[in-house]
Chains A and B, each alone.
Chain A
Amino acid sequence: MTVKVGVVVFPGTNCEHDVVEAVDSVGGCGRLLWHKDAGLADVDAVILPGGFAHGDYLRTGAMARFSPIMDAVIRFARGGGPVVGICNGFQILTEARLLPGALYKNRDLKFLCQPTRLRVASTGSVLTRGLNVGDELDIPINHFEGNYICSDRTLAELRETSSIMFTYRNNPNGATSDIAGISNKTGNVVGLMPHPERAAHPLLGSTDGALLLKGLIGGG
């Protein structure tokens, strides 16, 4: 059965069509969900895509967290449903407290759009379950606020529960412990700054992002 992936559109979101295209290309079925919707219909997984939800005004993700659909997303996540936040989606998930920590401005106070090499640090999440620890992936980033930060206690917990999913080989933004993506303890809620949908077609220079989306579709 085709896995239905709901891709949430907030005003200011801009990666929604790219994510749907990439999900479809690995055999899933992406469909757009509107932020004012109260429910998630019958989707099997949810992706909060990149962009500038609500213009990133006030603080990245801060207002999107209060969009009506987020109550349903939180219920879905608490019930074990797969929820993936990419870039701005990651920022929203931290604001919604579905993931710990926060995303600060990049170390050099500049927006960065560039390829990065990631190292898989945990295979206990819905994105990395098909991979091996130590695998390297080429997936680009595109953000101003991608510098992951958390308390020492949270960092210790992330390590203990194998919730650090990816690290950067060459840390581009100053993120704590080179963290590029994390999951919750149960691995069903995932946030990452790199954009897998931008590395899912041979003409785009890498298809490593498709591996992650296949993980999401394959086990969903």
Chain B
Amino acid sequence: MSDPLHRSLGLTDQEASAIEKILNRPPNHLELAMYAVMWSEHCSYKSSRLHLKRLPTEAPWVLVGPGENAGVVDVGDGIAAAIRIESHNHPSAIEPYQGAATGVGGILRDIFTMGARPIAVMDSLRFGSVDDARSRWIAEGVVSGISGYGNAVGVPTVGGETVFDEAYTGNPLVNVMCLGLMPTDRLVLGQASGEGNLAVLLGSSTGRDGIGGVSVLASASFGDEVEEAEKRPSVQVGDPFEEKRLIEACLALLDAGLVVGIQDLGGAGLTCATSETASRGGVGMDVDVAAVPRREPGMEPFEVLTSESQERMLAIVAPEGLDDVLDICDRWDVQASVVGRVTGGGRLRVRDGIDGPVLGEVPAASLHEDAPLYDRPRHPPVDWEAARADTADQLPPPADVGADLLGLLANPSWVYRQYDHMLFCNTVIGPGGDAAVLRLKDPATGADTGRGLALTADGNQRWCSVDPRAGTAMTVAESVLNLACAGARPLALVNCLNFGNPEHPEVMWQLSEAVDGMAEACDAFAIPVVGGNVSLYNETQGHNIDPTPVIGLLGMIDSLTSVPPGLAWSDGDRVVVLGSGGAELSGSLWAAASAGHKRGRLPELDYEQHRRVAELVRKLVAGEVLSAVHDVSSGGVGLALAEMAAVSGVGFAGARIHGHAELFGEAPSRVVAAVEAELLGAVEAAAAAAGVAVARIGLAAGERFSIKGLLDLDMSAITDRWCSAMSDLSSG
């Protein structure tokens, strides 16, 4: 006997009976399909919701917190910033180009849905080992997809990270973050109101692409490659030109005050957009399935309602404004069709013709509010205590410290050269720096405010493997320090929680620990979490990815009158480390690269010390005292120095770094700074006043990169490695 229908749609038997209870009758096929997509892990957060509640979400400048399409914060001068991050891991594993492209498209819609013009994208990418041909193919495809879609849609990609680690073989992570700006008074929410108002579907016609994307694809693990190929039709196909016109048309509609509410169609398509707008507004909606423009004949109502065809928006408009809405859409060659009307009573009814027979009827709110909520079992790994005792400090020391350092050096510019990162002429520091720095211009007038925004997207799967709680806290702390290096203070955080199969207790334990670590760090730094996304079932053939919370952090630069220092030092600069501590190797890039080691205990994070270092760095950057600055993270002080040398083409003569553990250790709360000789005293005095240790470690100069007693390399070795390590992936 074949499986019952609900199981093939991804619903459990218990979930199927819960639906029957809500309806007081068995659901028909259409209704079951609607519940299946809305109650999927991807849409309902049923395994994670319970834990996400522990994150701090409030601050006086937060205008919209988690739960809407994007978080929104007040950035002053009547300007609001909308920010959101989302994963597109599963589609990208199967069809890298379209998976990544539609990831960009989806996150942009989340931003302009709020009324904001998207001004910057960042992406955090993780692929399997660079030695693995399939991982390289995925990486090439993902980068091309982001480039192909992002460039054409006209939103700059201003930064991000690209990481290769065998933990992601077969299951890449593609997390895309978007920042948008709007005049504060244009803020709109995705809700319907006013009985008799019309639901107008804007943009592309609806096809059979992406049906069940959220349930079949994004909420299940991967098996073998044959199985993946069979899922390929669940991946949507993007059209950046359609999206570009949709952005312009929607912003024009909002400027003209013609919409009551607006909502993008992403995961779960029309079902999600109609039920969410209705339930947020406390109303109902009649949806005329026959009025939805289709790409092909013969589509079933359930296909129309659950299709994830891209580049579509649902606008709620008053009947008297309809003609003006249609005019604006016509100007931008955007298709617009009335597909429904707002009703009283809270029922979502799908009809064949607006007054035609009812094909399905459910309480709109039940698709969201009655979604299952699981407190899944969680448990630390059975070898947790043994793993903590197995520190990387016991690994054999490198035979050749210089060779190990060179091995860690890689230049990500092959990625970002393919992205337009300069559009809108805001990008003061683009990809490759600790944080992207953008001029803050008034979105209504274009006038320069003289202030700036800084943006980072960061994850660290090694730290989080060693200790998901402390590792997540350290990731937040690193982001804070990244912002400080750009002269910025943190405003708001968004996160993308990428984990394995939540039905495994160790994975749920990782998720729960990571949430606690993030909450602890956000409390310590007074940063509100304004949005997030959870991607579970990142599991291939029984192998879960490393726990990977990715942190997006938005910061404010109160006065942006000069370019922040960046990584490049000048000949003759004195080089210091600000902040103290750190010869522990557990969780370090060196330990993972040289021995595949991801166990032990992470170095201690002292929040008070971290705040002091960040504040000091921010002040020094704002005071234009530093020639160059780089936070110490992956690869330790050694890699920070090597990157600074590589970027500037100026060597380094150093001392007072004792042994490889001091060179490669990744203890938090430290930066490497370069400063002109005559300003060194001022830096040391400022550090002393702030209670931060300073260590003079050398001089930026010459044609060699040397650290007394540890290594002595010709600068050509550094620059050759820098230029070649990732220069051409496709021929690698």
User: Quick check: A203 and B422 within 8 Å, CB to CB?
Assistant: no
Q: Which residues on the A side are within 8 Å of B427 (C-beta)?
A: 204
Cβ proximity bits A135-178 to B, threshold 8 Å, 1 near / 0 not:
00000101010000000000000000000000000000000000
Q: Is the CB of B425 within 8 A of A54?
A: no
- The 0/1 profile, CB within 8 Å of A marked 1, for residues 126-150 of chain B is 0000000000000000000001100
Any chain B CB within 8 A of the CB of A111?
A: yes
With both beta carbons as reference points, the residue of chain A lying nearest to B421 in the complex is identified as A113
Indicate if A66 sits at the interface (CB-CB under 8 A): no
Question: Assuming A11-B332, A55-B152, is B418 touching A203 (CB within 8 A)?
Answer: no
CA of A79 to CA of B151, assembled, Å? 35
* Contact call B240/A52, Cβ cutoff below 8 A: yes
**How many Å lie between the Cα of A89 and that of B157 in the bound state?**
22
Interface pair B425/A52, CB less than 8 Å apart: no
Interface check A22, CB cutoff 8 A: yes
Query: At the interface, yes or no: A15 with Cβ under 8 Å from chain B?
Result: yes
Bound: A125/B110 CA distance, A: 45
B154 x A205 contact (CB < 8 A) = no
Determine if B418 and A110 form an interchain contact, defined as CB atoms under 8 angstroms apart: yes
**CB <8 Å contact, A205 and B563:** yes
A17: Cβ under 8 A from any B Cβ: yes
Segment of A39-47, A126-134, A193-201 in the binding face: A193-201
Contact B420 A113 (CB under 8 A): yes
B333's partner among A11, A111, A113, A198 (CB-CB below 8 A) is A11
Q: How far is the CA of A55 from the CA of B244 in the complex (A)?
A: 9
**Which residue of chain A has its CB nearest to the CB of B416?**
A113
**Which chain A residues in 88-118 approach chain B with CB under 8 Å?**
110-114
Interface string of B641-662 (1 = CB under 8 A from A): 0000000000000000000000
- The main secondary structure of chain A at its interface with chain B is mixed
- Contact present for B244 and A113 (CB under 8 Å): no
B25 at the interface (CB under 8 A from A): no
- A180-217 residues with Cβ-Cβ distance < 8 A to B are 195, 197-198, 200-201, 203-205
A140 touches B152 (CB 8 A): no
Residues of A close to B423: CB separation below 8 A = 14-15, 18, 142
User: Which one of A52, A110, A201, A203 lies within 8 Å of B152 (CB-CB)?
Assistant: A52
> Is B463 in the interface zone, CB < 8 Å from A?
no
A112/B241 in contact, CB under 8 A: no
Within 8 A of A (CB), among B224-248: 239-241, 244-245, 248
- A11–B148 Cα distance when bound, in Å, is 17
B560 near A21 (CB under 8 angstroms)? no
In the bound complex, residues from chain A placing their C-beta under 8 Å from that of B151 are 52, 111, 113, 142, 144
The answer to whether A112 and B424 have CB atoms under 8 Å apart is no
Contact: B446 with A11, CB < 8 Å? Answer: no
Using CB atoms, name the residue of chain A closest to B147: A111
Structural contact, B417 and A110, CB atoms closer than 8 A: yes
**A52 contacts B446, C-beta separation under 8 Å:** no
CB of A219 within 8 A of chain B? no
Tell whether, in the assembled complex, residue B417 and residue A112 are in contact, meaning their CB atoms are under 8 Å apart: yes
Docked pose: A127 CA to B420 CA in angstroms = 24
Contact residue among B152, B418, B419, B428 (Cβ-Cβ distance under 8 Å from A204): B428
A195 to B245, CA, bound (A): 23
Are the C-beta atoms of A195 and B333 separated by less than 8 Å? no
Contact check, A203 vs B563: say whether CB atoms are below 8 A apart.
yes
Q: Mark B400-429, 1 if CB is under 8 A from A, else 0.
A: 000000000000000011111111110110
Chain B, range 350-376, C-beta contacts under 8 Å to A: none
Q: Size range of the interface on A?
A: 20 to 34
- Contact between B424 and A18 (Cβ–Cβ < 8 Å)? yes
Query: Which of B152, B333, B424 neighbours the largest number of chain A CB atoms within 10 Å of its CB?
Result: B152
For A52, give its contact among B244, B419, B560, B563 (CB under 8 Å): B244
What B residues does A57 contact at CB under 8 A? 241
Contact with A along B556-577 (1 / 0, CB 8 A): 0000101100000000000000
* CB <8 Å contact, B417 and A52: no
Contacts of A21 in B (CB 8 A): 425, 446
Residue with the greatest number of chain B CB neighbours at <10 A, chosen from A14, A21, A112? A14
Complex CA distance for A14 and B153, rounded to whole angstroms: 8
Please give me the residue from chain A that is nearest to B151 by CB atom: A111
Question: From B249, which residue of chain A is reached at the shortest CB distance?
Answer: A11
- Provide the B302-335 mask, 1 if CB < 8 A to any CB of A, else 0: 0000000000000000000000000000001100
- Contact (A142, B420) CB under 8 Å given A11-B245, A11-B333, A12-B241: yes
Q: Is B439 an interface residue (CB 8 A)?
A: yes
Interface residues in B418-444 by Cβ distance below 8 A to A read 418-425, 427-428, 439
The answer for the CA separation of A201 and B147 in the assembled complex, in Å, is 25
Of chain B, the residue at the smallest CB distance from A34 is B331
Tell me which residues across on chain A come within 8 A of B419, comparing CB atoms. 111, 113
Who on chain B is nearest to A197 by CB?
B425
A1-29 residues with Cβ-Cβ distance < 8 A to B are 11-12, 14-15, 17-18, 21-22
Please indicate the chain A residues that have their CB under 8 angstroms from the CB of B422 in the complex: 113, 140, 142, 195, 198, 204
Report whether B241 and A11 are in contact in the complex, using a CB–CB cutoff of 8 Å: yes
> Is A51 interfacial (CB-CB < 8 Å)?
yes
Chain B residue with Cβ nearest A20: B446
Residue A71 CB within 8 A of the other chain: no
Q: Once bound together, how far apart are the Cα atoms of A57 and B245, in whole Å?
A: 14
Which of A18, A140, A197, A203 makes the CB contact (< 8 A) with B428?
Answer: A203
Min Cβ gap B559→A in Å is 12
A14 touches B563 (CB 8 A): no
Interface residues of A in 57-74 (CB under 8 A from B): 57
Contact A17 to B240, CB < 8 A, known contacts A11-B245, A11-B333, A112-B417: no
User: Roughly how many angstroms separate A34 CA and B560 CA in the complex, as a whole number?
Assistant: 34
Separation of A124 and B295 alpha carbons in the complex (Å): 52
CB of B425 within 8 A of CB of A198, answer yes
Taking CB atoms, residues of chain A closer than 8 Å to B147 are 111
Task: A15 to B423: give the CA distance in the assembly, Å.
Answer: 7
Give the distance in Å from the alpha carbon of A12 to the alpha carbon of B332 in the complex: 10
Q: How far is the CA of A14 from the CA of B424 in the complex (A)?
A: 9
11 contacts between A and B (CB under 8 A): A111-B147, A112-B417, A113-B151, A142-B420, A142-B422, A197-B425, A198-B425, A201-B439, A203-B560, A204-B428, A205-B563
Where the two chains meet, the residues of B that have a C-beta atom closer than 8 Å to any C-beta of A are: 147-148, 151-152, 154, 239-241, 244-245, 248, 332-333, 416-425, 427-428, 439, 446, 560, 562-563
Known contacts A11-B245, A52-B154, A142-B422; can you find 19 more A-B pairs with CB under 8 A? A15-B423, A17-B424, A18-B425, A21-B446, A22-B425, A52-B151, A52-B152, A52-B240, A52-B241, A52-B244, A55-B239, A111-B417, A111-B420, A142-B423, A144-B151, A203-B560, A203-B563, A204-B427, A204-B428
Question: Interface residues, chain A, CB within 8 Å of chain B?
Answer: 11-12, 14-15, 17-18, 21-22, 51-52, 54-57, 110-114, 140, 142, 144, 195, 197-198, 200-201, 203-205
6 closest A-B pairs (Cβ-Cβ)?
A: A55-B241, A14-B154, A52-B152, A111-B418, A18-B425, A203-B428
